[in-house]
Amino acid sequence: MIYSEPKEIGNVLIKNRFVRSATYRRMAKQEGDISNELLEMYKKLAKGGVGLIITGYTYVQKSGISFPDQIGVDRDSLIPSLKKISKTIHENGDACKVFLQLAHCGRQSFFIDEIIAPSAVLEPFTNRIPKEMTIEEIMETVDAFAQGSRRAMEAGFDGVQLHSAHGYLLSEFLSPHTNRRTDKYGGSTNNRIRIFEELYEKITKLVGNNFPISIKMNADDFLEGGLKLNESQKIVKILSRIGYASIEVSGGMWEVLMRSKNELGWQPAMTPESRININSKDMEAYHKTYAKEFKKLVDKPIILVGGIKSLDVVEELLTQGITDFVSFSRPLICEPDLPNKWLKGTGKNTCKCISCNECIGTALNGPVHCTQEK
């Protein structure tokens, strides 16, 4: 059973192949501090048997806040609060590891007065045009991610993940659809990836080379003029060469919601990265083709997320070498102890999650929770 075998990400040994993918739960306090409710949620996840927990996204700058009650990592005064997360997970997880996900929402925000992005391209979901970032603002953001990484290390986390998927700021730099700059940060693939070279260099200056820096990225934006597999393959090779410790494979931007079912062949609900009605095994792991292609190109661990719900699918993905780790979001909202059930042979082959996405809708009024919970 490969899913029970340990494997390293960087120099951090993950006890099994189950990863909790970063999931916004709207449980932080208003100024980014950690609530008791959030700690209890992480305690359940840690006790549930997952090998690695990636926290819900944290904002590195006030200009990067995406939604209310989001965790903050933008100032040193939050380090004691963040320590509560790592301490809770390490004390309750039987060698469970935890990475802090760092993010900036870029143009995908309803809540920031002046949104910023690589280029002034209309965001049709929010119907807003962002301000194109100056070179100085890019440097400030690079520094903010680096300082956030330092705070994560000082707060006892085992590593960080940079959220570079789903149309958020770093994803916007990678995508030719959202990055139309004519300076050194735009145009060619090498220019659009420049910020990732600067991020890695600045982060490692602060945290050293023994603190894993991982990436979550789109293999495909699912948009005309956006990032496609032929270019994301080039990008993943460069990211690996730079030194990023692992790649989590995903896809889609918010504007996918503005596209029709006929254009995409599937109809997302609420968010493009979490598809609904995954009710057969052939619909599971909907990013596996991309993971398989990435795996051929790099020797860094690949993490696959997206509609994985069945244990035999997990084992197949791992034994066929399509991915090194499998990552779950909605199934662990529904069943935080799902990994233990599978590892101990006490659970059903397919998890309880019905891929309805109603959990995402609960964020409009309060903490995210599974509507199927009894």
**In the predicted model, is pLDDT for residue 142 greater than 50?**
yes
Dist CA 264 CA 203 (whole Å): 37
Residue range 354-368: mean pLDDT, rounded: 82
- For every residue of 63-114, DSSP letters joined together read GG--STT-EE-SSGGGHHHHHHHHHHHHHHSSS-EEEEEEE--TT--SS-SS
Please, what is the end-to-end C-alpha distance for the chain in angstroms?
32
Going by C-alpha positions, the residue among 72, 225, 103 that lies closest to residue 170 is: 103
Residue 239 DSSP code: H
Q: Which of 199-203, 341-345, 364-368 has the highest mean pLDDT?
A: 199-203
Mean pLDDT of 165-184: 97
pLDDT in tens, 27-53: 899 899 999 999 999 999 999 999 999
In the chain the domains, ranked by start, together with CATH numbers, are 2-364 (3.20.20.70)
Do the Cβ atoms of 341 and 353 come closer than 8 Å? no
Beta-strand ranges (E) seen in 88-197 are 97-103, 116-117, 131-132, 159-164
If you compute the radius of gyration of the chain from its CA atoms, what whole number of angstroms results?
19
- In this prediction, residue 266 has a pLDDT band, given cuts at 50, 70 and 90, of very low
Confidence category of residue 281, pLDDT binned at 50, 70, 90: confident
pLDDT, one tens digit per residue, over 72-127 is 999 999 999 999 999 999 999 999 999 999 999 999 988 888 999 999 999 988 88
Is residue 203 within 8 A of residue 212, CB to CB? The reply is: no
Neighbours of 192 (CB within 10 A): 23
Integer Cα distance of 363 and 372 in angstroms: 15
Question: Residue 21 and residue 54: Cα distance in Å, rounded?
Answer: 6
- H/E element holding 58? strand 58-59
Q: Rounded to an integer, what is the distance from CA 115 to the centroid of its chain?
A: 21
CA angle 146, 53, 19 (to 5 degrees): 115
Two tokens, residue 260 = 């029709």
Question: What's the pLDDT band for 354 if we cut at 50, 70, 90?
Answer: confident
Q: How far is residue 47's CA from residue 49's CA, in Å, rounded to a whole number?
A: 6
Strands 12-14 and 7-9: antiparallel
Give the residue among 169, 173, 175, 210 at the shortest CA–CA distance from 195: 173
pLDDT in tens, 232-241: 999 999 999 9
Which of 42, 168, 185, 290 is catalytic? The answer is 168
- Three-state SS for 283? helix
Q: State what percent of residues in the chain have pLDDT above 90.
A: 78
pLDDT band at 271 (very low <50, low <70, confident <90, very high): low
**Residue pair 322/295 in contact by the 8 Å Cβ criterion:** yes
Tell me the whole-structure pTM to 2 decimals.
0.95
Q: What is the mean pLDDT of the chain?
A: 92
Say if residue 175's pLDDT is above 90: yes
pLDDT class of 264 with cuts at 50, 70, 90: very low
Q: Are 51 and 97 in contact (CB under 8 A)?
A: yes
User: In terms of Cα–Cα distance, which of 128, 110, 129 is closest to 119?
Assistant: 129
To which residue do tokens 């599971």 refer?
Answer: 284
Burial class, 144, CB count within 10 angstroms (exposed 0-12 / middle 13-18 / buried 19+): buried
The answer to whether the CB of 159 falls within 8 A of the CB of 96 is: no
Average pLDDT over residues 317-325: 97
Residue 187 has pLDDT above 60, yes or no: yes
Mean pLDDT, residues 225-231 = 96
Mean pLDDT throughout 291-303? 97
Nearest alpha-carbon partner for 11 in 148, 211, 307: 211
185 is catalytic: no
Q: CB–CB of 213/160 below 8 Å?
A: yes
Q: Beta strands 247-251 and 71-72: pairing type? A: unpaired
pLDDT value at residue 111: 83
